[in-house]
Amino acid sequence: MNIPTTGIIGAVCGDIIGLPYELRADRTKDYHFPLKLNDFSDDTILTVAIAHWLLGERTEENLRENLLNYALRFRHKNVWGTGFQTWFESGGTLDCTGVASNGAAMRVAAIGYASNDLQEVMRLAEMSARMTHNSDEAARGAEAVAVAVLMARTGHRKEEVRDFLENWTGYDLHRRVEDIRPDYHFEILCDRCVPEGIICWLQSHTYEEAVRNAVSLGGDADTLAAIAGGIAAATPGMEVAPELAQPCFELLPDDFKEIVTNPLFNL
């Protein structure tokens, strides 16, 4: 099986590379890279769950089934946020109105490959968010990441992506990583995580630099790196280096590998 260096492997590698640094980053881009690639978290599990959904019927019922099946399969892993764990243990019946955390945005890289139509990508991203995070903020974050992936992979310049997202979301994407880093801390709210993840991609020239930027902020490192890495791997010329892609890919279960290598989710 060929190991991909573009597509949703970018979000997977970002999660795996960032996970050892969660809450432990020393706020520098010059950390040992990679530190310890030995596990994946909910970012990868749910990224693959969303991708699996997109390969079948793109209905709310199928979305709920995929999210529940993947979460319950890995319920033993100590990676789940309290709110999402409560949702899947309820069988997906919990009222999630008002939930604005970043879990809705960390898992949507595959949606940016699901269609070349901007409105369709937005629709799918919103559907995916409201299932578990029924708030305008969570939907906005999920749509922003999916749209960034779509625009990046279809050849839009970073400045075009930045300007479109700023005008549409209201995010301030003109900030610099160096200016964000000193006062940043662990954040799970979409509007305090998604813009920063996008900026980490905007202010990079390689996949590795995008992920280094994300980890250096000292926050929710795996999620920030999954967001930045997912967009980066969709950007022509920013593919994941094979020496990073291979060890991350080898950590995945065989069925995950089949989905990650599916032609739909690769450039």
Alpha-carbon dihedral sign for residues 40, 41, 47, 51 = positive
Q: How far apart are alpha carbons 57 and 164 in whole angstroms?
A: 30
pLDDT(25) > 60: no
Runs of H (alpha helix) within 170-220: 177-180, 194-202, 207-216
pLDDT band for position 32 (cuts 50, 70, 90): low
Query: Which pLDDT value is given to residue 21?
Result: 85
What are the structural domains of the chain? 9-265 (1.10.4080.10)
Longest Cα–Cα distance of the chain, Å, equals 45
Give residue 33's pLDDT: 60
The dihedrals phi and psi of 77, each to the nearest 5 degrees, come to -75, 140
Give residue-wise pLDDT tens across range 161-214. Answer: 999 999 999 999 999 999 999 999 888 999 999 999 999 999 999 999 999 999
Residue in 78, 60, 62, 198 with CA at minimum distance from that of residue 129: 60
* pLDDT given at position 38: 83
Q: 48: closest CA among 261, 267, 263?
A: 261
Q: Please give the single-letter amino acid code of residue 206.
A: T
**For 144-158, what is the HEC assignment?**
HHHHHHHHHHCCCCH
80-95 pLDDT, tens digit each: 999 999 999 999 999 9
Asked whether residue 7 carries a pLDDT value surpassing 70, the answer given is: yes
For the chain, give the percent of residues with pLDDT over 90.
Answer: 89
The stretches of 56-117 forming alpha helices (DSSP H) are: 60-73, 82-89, 103-106
Residue in 50, 58, 60 with CA at minimum distance from that of residue 11: 50
Quote the pLDDT of residue 1.
77
> pTM (2 decimals)?
0.96
Q: pLDDT band for position 72 (50/70/90)?
A: very high
pLDDT tens track for 130-158: 999 999 999 999 999 999 999 999 999 99
pLDDT at residue number 213: 95
Residue 155, φ and ψ in degrees, nearest 5 = 90, 10
**Rounded average pLDDT over 60-89:** 96
Report whether 143 contacts 125 (CB < 8 A).
yes
Q: Which pLDDT score is estimated for 218?
A: 87
pLDDT tens per residue across span 230-254: 999 999 999 999 999 999 999 999 9
pLDDT band at residue 77 using 50, 70 and 90 as cut-offs: very high
- Residues 95-118: tens digit of each pLDDT: 999 999 999 999 999 999 999 999
